Amino acid sequence: MTKFRSLIPVALPVIAVLVLAGVWGTTLHPVTVGVVAVVLAIAVLSAVHHAEVVAHRVGEPFGSLVLAVAVTIIEVALIITLMGSGKEGASTLARDTVFAAFMITLTGIIGASLLVAGTRFRYVHFNPEGSGAALATVTAMATLTLIVPAVTTSAAESEFTSSQLAFAGISSLLLYLAFVGTQTIRHRDFFLPVEIPGEDHSDDDTHADPPSKRATLVSLLLLLIALIAVVGLAKVESPSIEAGVRAAGFPASFVGVVIALLVLLPESIAAIRAASRNRMQISLNLAIGSAIASIGLTIPAIALASLWVDTPLVLGLSPLQIVLAALTVVMTVLTIVPGRATRMQAVVHLAVFAAFIFLSIVP
């Protein structure tokens, strides 16, 4: 029985990829849509499991980077593929997805993590130097790539010229690389979990023996397979998602929100699990790090892909989105600066997250 259980984490990503191969290029029937949704959820849980194995081996903050970067790279492929379809909303899909990732990570993931940790431990502690640096980075990225094109005048409304797009892509990539260098080399201690004197972490699985090098490599491979399955199955489901959005009378831009929610599921679950172990710094690393990776990798890749994809690229946010982005940044600054938080901050973050979802449906 023990041997059988140990084979389950290995088998699930493979099964998910086999299902993906079986349904790829086919028209899904209602029953098949349900089956694919179940397999998609299994692939997400499998990705989280293998990401945690790798993270336990390499330690923080490298572990948080593994999942954030892997998911974002495949997210880019999904966006480019859907943009090439030329369907309604294709020109704003990159903007809608990246903005949704920004809002989901800074309001939804942080809010849920604070709620779980605050309920269980009353107070949660984290490092304001590291989290503040991460927030400053993602704020600069979001402003340069999503807000600036809404106010520039050299191109069509909410679009960049070629030179402006190149500048935005290069600056985002450089900011991302500078942040990764700071997080993993120069000031790595800023992103490690805060140890509070007198707290007992004897039941924390971070004290367990790390997996072997072979087990880590196997989990890394299975993580990539599971993430491919997640994004591939999300793409297979996308026609059903688009049809559902239209049938519900929601704006076409809501497709980007759904895509971001699906792609960020692994990070969301991993962040909440870390918060339940009173490792709020890991939750913040995952949440803000995912937002940084989403902008810092997606925008340069989309800028490069725009040379071949014959679809206008609209990156500028609407006035409503700019207001939500500004509110989110101010709120998150006030949460991070003290270095500790309670459930009150969780409620505020989740309230803004709910407003984002509602206003995405009823703009």
The residue type at 119: T
Q: Of 283, 230, 253, nearest to 19 (Cα)?
A: 230
Q: How many helices (H) and strands (E) does the chain have?
A: 13, 2
Contact at 8 Å (CB) between 193 and 316? no
Q: What distance in Å separates the CA atoms of residue 103 and residue 88, rounded to the nearest whole number? A: 23
- Rounded to 5 degrees, φ, ψ at 157 are -55, 130
Q: Is the pLDDT of residue 41 over 70?
A: yes
Q: Which residues contact 304 (CB under 8 A, 6 or more apart)?
A: 169
Q: Quick one: average pLDDT of 139-156? A: 91
Whether 100 and 292 have beta carbons less than 8 Å apart is answered as no
Compute how many other C-beta atoms are within 10 angstroms of the C-beta atom of residue 320.
12
User: pLDDT of 206-243, one tens digit each?
Assistant: 455 677 888 888 888 888 888 788 778 877 877 777 77
Q: Across-strand partners of 341?
A: 124
Encode 184-212: b = buried (16+ Cβ within 10 Å), e = exposed. Answer: beeeeebbbbbeeeeeeeeeeebeeeeee
311 near 86, Cβ under 8 Å?
yes
pLDDT tens-digit profile of 304-354? 887 777 777 889 999 999 999 999 999 999 999 999 998 999 999 999 999
pLDDT for the residue 241: 74
Provide the mean pLDDT of the chain: 83
Assign 86 a pLDDT band (cuts: 50, 70, 90): low
Q: pLDDT > 90: what percent of the chain?
A: 30
3-state helix, strand, coil in the chain (%, to 5): 75, 0, 20
pLDDT of 6 over the 70 cut? no
Buried/exposed 226-243: b ≥16 CB within 10 Å, e otherwise: bbbbbbbbbbbbbebbbe
